[in-house]
Amino acid sequence: MADSVIAVRGVTKSFSGVKALKGVDLEIRPGEIHCLAGENGSGKSTLIKVISGVYTPDEGTIELNGTAHSRLAPIDAIMGGVQVIYQDFSVFPNLSVMENLALNTELASKRKLVNWRRFRRIAEEAVAQIDFKVDLDARVGTLSVADRQLVAISRALMHDAKLIIMDEPTTALTKKEVDALFRIILDLKARGISILFVSHKLEEVFEISERFTILRNGEVAATCLPEELDRRKFSYFMTGREFEDGRFTLTNRSDEPVLEATGLGLQGGFEDVTFALHGGEILGITGLLGSGRTELALTLFGAFRADAGELRIKGRPVTFHGVRDAVDAGVGYVPEDRLTEGLFLERSIGDNIVIAEIDNVAVSAGVYDDTRKRAEADRWISELRIAAHDQDNAASTLSGGNQQRIVLAKWLATRPDILILNGPTVGVDIGSKHDIHQILQQLAGEGIAVIVISDDIPEVIQNCNRILLLKAGRIVQELDPATTSEAQLAALMTSDTTGGQQ
Amino acid sequence: MIKRFLARAVRSNEFYVLLVIVALGVVIQVRSGQFFTANNLVDIANAMVVPGLFAIGAFLVIVSGGIDVSFPALASLAVYATTRVLVDTGYTGGVWLPFLLAMVLGGLLGAFNGLFIARLALPTLIITLGTASVFSGVMQGVLNSVQIPNIPPSMEAFGTATLFVARNPESGLTSNMPVSFLILVAVLALAFVLLRFTMFGRGIYAIGGDESAAARAGFKVRRIKFWLYVIVGVIAAVAGLIRTSMMGQMHPTNLLGMEMMVIAAVVLGGTAITGGTGSLTGVMLGTLLITIVQNSMILIGIPTFWQGFSLGLLIIVGTGISAVQLARSGNRLRAAV
């Protein structure tokens, strides 16, 4: 049975009674590009750790190059040619490229002393394998993300690798860098090296993967070829739920606009932005990174002060001197980077939910009512179906989708008239993404004016009734999602009509 | 070649510390005419020995991503116990035994630190704050420490042993270059070799850069941390023994409180407080700068109470610079993404 590099058979693994893997099979052939997909918590990372020898399976065997093991030590996995490239690449930012490349090899051969000439030789050999041009004396911390990844790949290849496992390899890369990465991967494949991608996004690795294994709740939901897969099926296998593409329909549009921007401008951000937003609408604002979309969102939320134009809320002109003014005027903002801007990760779920409306649960200035706070937090936990066992747990204990719901709950608790969401489903798994979309549509149905800022094309088309296309700080077009296809929008976004970015 | 060397030097932290030292030296020289005199320079070298040794230890810990505030207490306890035992037994032999005893004790106390740090995922600052209290508690409580006015003769002899005497031709003042300066040089050389040419030393840098990456690369992170604190304990004990020998008496609380100044010296020399980067050259320059501030400000007639003020200012400026650099590299990173 040496026609597979690695074959995992019937592997079960549980942690303190919870089964993370339930009889999983996975087989990877030489030179195959295989994609392991699954939502957060589906057992992907556990499976990787079993393959790389970090975890010992409770049951089942791992066949490495034709030899069956019931337990595999990390060193066995490495000797068998299994290399993992983690999402953070496991590089040392403070050390030189040369040292990063050579340390593993030297440690593997149990050297105690450092010979810098040998280090350089190993490093030169490593980069030569993928024809990677880099200054060996540069500190890795000064390299771009793509180059750091190449350092990690070169390093992995030093150990006579037969299988390279890459965790979410394309998340932080630009399109061009992804293309370069794929070229290298195809070259590795030609040399008979297998690649296992780990991902929870179909788009990321669809074009290059030859076979998919999709995990759900610790079981293999499907093993299939790319021809047999489309977005619908992929979502189904990942979540076990059928999602009908619930397009947003405008039902509760207010007669008067709640928010009007006229000729709004911000130095270095955007200029001459004019639009009106009615209650009950979901307005999509889309554009590439650097198109001014985040600056616009933050200006509407009072974090930046516009230096040109006028902003009216419910017909009254407003000037925001800070976020507090915007909140008082009924604007809520769900930030792009919820981890640093939207959540107190170490604080409890309940604290996070009530923080923006802390004055409402106060008995008197500065002292809050714990019972009222708990009731309020519980209400939002059940309303938004946040999977929290206990509102006293830290927010960091929740998954990405649930964290995003907390941020949402926090702002909904302030009862906003206008809710601005910046990248509402970035880093969120499919099931939660669907739920968040439903919540947004429901909110609009209740008459809240929603702005969704996103470069996720299916997301804006499916959830908005109007889309503003932002390019180099200007609104270049207003689109009707009902008559715009995803491909059209993608082309419009990247086309160079204004001669602006890129 | 020289151009490239200069270009590199200008970008390094050490270069700026050196500039500050030279500038400070010139200012003191102009104001007092006393800075660039043989006896003053020897005095500075003399005053550098103990803080310099401590700084090497503190540097090793900071590079590994930790911070140790227990070394003065550790050194005090190790040296107090050594001196106590030797004085009580009426020891009259060579100086090797006090050194050996202190180093063994220092190593054991360092192992106590190392055990907790390697096993517990707690900030090293918290752990060493705790062990510092334990160490000084044991010394002052269990050992009931008092000043020991007479130390073993060999220690006293070592403390006054002189390499050469520098004389200021004008004032006629003389200063002795202590033999212990050689110990500083030797420890510095050993630390350099350890960091540069052993996998253990590279492991210290690797752990300071990214601990989980170090573990994945195959470094035995726990073992490295444990032995690191043992080594630091030994170095601290040596420093403590030298201080006691030079003073000619064991003063149990003499060293306590030095940790801030030593850590400041390390950080001033360009060592990132977040771990992973820094050089021994920088550490020595930082120590030199602080020693000059402490020793020589008196030469230009600045009252001693300003010392604390200027030291504090130096620390803020020194750490401020590295914080700005960190923020800048962070920006560059984001731009690259």
In terms of average pLDDT, the best of A236-245, A482-491, B101-110, B266-275 is B101-110
Contacts of B201 in chain A (CB under 8 A): 114
The closest CB to that of B199, out of A84, A94, A111, belongs to: A111
Q: How far is A136 from chain B (nearest CA, A)?
A: 16
Contacts of A174 in chain B (CB under 8 A): none
Mutate to test the interface with B, among A75, A95, A165 (most CBs of B within 10 A): A95
Q: Please tell me which residue of chain A has the smallest CA distance to B203.
A: A103
Q: How far is B335 from chain A (nearest CA, A)?
A: 9
- In DSSP terms, A477 is beta-bridged to A469
Contacts of A142 in chain B (CB under 8 A): 329, 332
pLDDT confidence of residue A242:
74
Cβ contact B205–A95 (<8 Å): yes
- State how far the Cα of A319 lies from the Cα of B168, in Å rounded to an integer: 72
- State how far the Cα of A398 lies from the Cα of A386, in Å rounded to an integer: 9
Q: How far is B147 from chain A (nearest CA, A)?
A: 44
What mean pLDDT value characterizes chain B? 87
The residue assigned the tokens 């207003």 is A478
Q: Please tell me which residue of chain A has the smallest CA distance to B63.
A: A94
Q: Which residues of A325-340 are buried (b: 16+ CB within 10 A; e: fewer)?
A: ebbebbbbbbbbebee
Local confidence band at B256 (pLDDT 50, 70, 90 cut-offs): confident
* CB contact at 8 A, B236 and B74: yes
CB-based contacts of B268, cutoff 8 Å, min separation 6: B17, B285, B286, B289, B290, B314, B315, B318
Local confidence band at B327 (pLDDT 50, 70, 90 cut-offs): low
Cβ contact A107–B277 (<8 Å): no
- For residue B189, the number of C-alpha atoms closer than 13 Å in the C-beta half-sphere is 6
Mutate to test the interface with A, among B11, B199, B274, B331 (most CBs of A within 10 A): B199
SS3 A436: helix
Residue B120 belongs to a domain: yes
pLDDT confidence of residue B326:
59
Among candidate residues A254, A262, A248, A246, the one with its CA nearest the CA of residue A448 = A254
- State how far the Cα of B305 lies from the Cα of A475, in Å rounded to an integer: 63
Residue B180 belongs to a domain: yes
Contacts of B206 in chain A (CB under 8 A): 92, 95, 103
- State how far the Cα of A17 lies from the Cα of A446, in Å rounded to an integer: 43
Q: How far is B276 from chain A (nearest CA, A)?
A: 6
- State how far the Cα of B114 lies from the Cα of B233, in Å rounded to an integer: 9
Domains contained in chain B, number: 1
Sign of CA dihedral A129, A135, A138, A143: negative
Q: Give the rounded percent of residues in chain B with a pLDDT score beyond 90.
A: 51
Q: What is the distance between the terminal CA atoms of chain A, rounded to a whole angstrom?
A: 51
Cβ contact B218–A144 (<8 Å): no
- State how far the Cα of A195 lies from the Cα of A82, in Å rounded to an integer: 10
Minimum mean pLDDT among A27-31, A203-207, B93-97, B232-236: which range?
A: A203-207
Q: Which residue type is seen at B65?
A: G
Cβ contact A91–B213 (<8 Å): yes
| Residues 132-171 (A) with a CB less than 8 A from some CB of B | 141-145
Is pLDDT of B239 > 60? Answer: yes
Residue B184 belongs to a domain: yes
**pTM (two decimals):** 0.77
What was the ipTM of the complex prediction? 0.84
Q: Please tell me which residue of chain A has the smallest CA distance to B220.
A: A107
Cβ contact B332–A172 (<8 Å): no
Contacts of B212 in chain A (CB under 8 A): 90
**Domain architecture of chain A: domains with CATH:** 6-239 (3.40.50.300), 248-330+418-502 (3.40.50.300), 347-415 (no CATH)
Residue B133 belongs to a domain: yes
* CB contact at 8 A, A408 and A398: no
Tell me how far CA of residue B138 lies from CA of B71, B77, B107, B226, in angstroms: 14, 8, 16, 22
pLDDT confidence of residue A496:
57
* CB contact at 8 A, A292 and A315: no
SS3 B300: helix
Residue B222 belongs to a domain: yes
Per-residue pLDDT, averaged over B48-65, amounts to: 96
Structural domain including B247 reads: 50-256+272-278
Residue B241 belongs to a domain: yes
Cβ contact A145–B210 (<8 Å): no
Q: How far is B183 from chain A (nearest CA, A)?
A: 24
CB-based contacts of A97, cutoff 8 Å, min separation 6: A123, A134, A135, A136, A137, A138, A139, A140, A143, A151
Regions of chain A where pLDDT drops below 50: 1, 498-502
Is pLDDT of B101 > 50? Answer: yes
Residue B87 belongs to a domain: yes
Q: Give the rounded percent of residues in chain B with a pLDDT score beyond 70.
A: 91
- State how far the Cα of A348 lies from the Cα of A494, in Å rounded to an integer: 41
The closest CB to that of B208, out of A84, A94, A172, belongs to: A94
Q: How far is B185 from chain A (nearest CA, A)?
A: 22
